[in-house]
């Protein structure tokens, strides 16, 4: 399918109409052209860069203030193409994402309930490869989280983070309940992407041994 790229200059405004100021969209044939145009838009604007097939869009980069007092935003990864079946297997989506991460030196990504650090790897660090999460009996992925570190605020409870989720705070770390290979309790302080990998590892182990109930919270 034919693909193109787009920029939006300021999503904080309504869509532009006749005699009404608003955001505008520009289309480009190449990612290079779109990146150049995006960089010309001031960082004080809620600007976007994305990929489209003329019907569907994949937002690649957006500019957001990390703190309420910031007058200018930082460019962050807007979405993970791997989470969308339409884009997951498209090499153009993978290349555009990787190129944007490199070209903009992106540090963070936009998630449904926070802004979080980009994963540094698709594998767990060596010191976590023998660890699991101590999940609740219904295997709720967030149930091992005890404390959440929000930049500019400090450590807050999981409940408090969820209360603030609509404002997308910058979440840097979790303190979580973990288990060793032997089933011994261990306390983990990890980044969100490490937590996500541990969730996957833990659920895979539970699926392999569904008859085991020891080591799970009641």
Give the pLDDT of the chain (218 residues) as one tens digit per residue. Answer: 689 999 999 999 987 776 678 899 999 999 999 999 999 999 999 999 999 999 999 999 999 999 989 999 999 999 999 999 999 999 999 999 999 999 999 999 999 999 999 999 999 999 999 999 999 989 999 999 999 999 999 999 999 999 999 999 999 999 999 999 999 999 999 999 999 999 999 999 988 876 555 544 44
Q: Which two tokens stand for residue 15?
A: 């869509």
Does residue 190 belong to any structural domain of this protein? yes
Distances (CA, A) of 122 to 61, 127, 179, 193, 200: 21, 15, 21, 9, 12
Does residue 20 belong to any structural domain of this protein? yes
Q: Which of 110, 139, 166 is the last residue of a domain?
A: 110
42 and 17 share a domain? yes
CA–CA separation, 145 and 179 (whole Å): 13
What domain range is 83 assigned to? Answer: 4-110
17 and 100 share a domain? yes
CA angle 119/120/124 to nearest 5° reads 90
Does residue 214 belong to any structural domain of this protein? no
Does residue 145 belong to any structural domain of this protein? yes
14 and 53 share a domain? yes
pTM of the predicted model as reported, rounded to 2 decimal places: 0.87
Cβ-Cβ contacts under 8 Å for 201 (sequence gap 6 or more): 124, 132
191 and 141 share a domain? yes
Q: Which of 51, 86, 110 is the last residue of a domain?
A: 110
143 and 51 share a domain? no
115, 71, 22, 8: CA torsion to nearest 10: -50
Number of domains in the chain: 2
CA–CA separation, 6 and 130 (whole Å): 44
Helix axes 31-40, 91-103, angle to 10 degrees: 40
Q: Which of 85, 110, 135 is the last residue of a domain?
A: 110
106 and 138 share a domain? no
12 and 101 share a domain? yes
Tell the residue number behind the tokens 């090499």, with chain if given.
Answer: 91
Q: How many CB atoms lie within 10 A of CB 42?
A: 11
């Amino acid at each position: 399918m034919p693909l193109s790229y787009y920029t939006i200059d300021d999503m904080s405004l309504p869509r532009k109409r006749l005699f009404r100021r608003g955001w505008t969209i520009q289309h480009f044939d190449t990612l290079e052209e779109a990146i150049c145009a995006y960089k010309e838009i001031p960082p004080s604007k809620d600007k976007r860069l994305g990929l489209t097939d003329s019907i569907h869009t994949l937002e690649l980069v957006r500019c957001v203030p990390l703190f309420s007092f910031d007058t200018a935003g930082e460019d962050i990864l807007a979405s993970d193409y791997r989470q969308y079946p339409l884009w997951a297997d498209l090499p153009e989506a993978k290349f555009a994402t990787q190129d944007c991460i490199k070209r903009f030196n992106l540090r963070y990504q936009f998630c449904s309930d926070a802004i979080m650090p980009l994963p540094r790897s698709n594998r767990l660090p060596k010191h976590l490869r023998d660890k699991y999460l101590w999940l609740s009996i219904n295997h709720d992925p967030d149930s091992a989280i005890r404390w959440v570190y929000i930049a500019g605020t400090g450590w807050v409870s999981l409940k408090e983070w969820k209360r603030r989720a609509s404002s997308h705070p910058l979440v840097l770390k979790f303190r979580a309940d973990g288990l060793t290979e032997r089933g011994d309790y261990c306390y983990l302080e990890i980044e969100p992407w490490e937590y996500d990998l541990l969730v996957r590892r833990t659920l895979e182990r539970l699926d392999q041994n569904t008859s085991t109930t020891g080591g799970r919270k009641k």
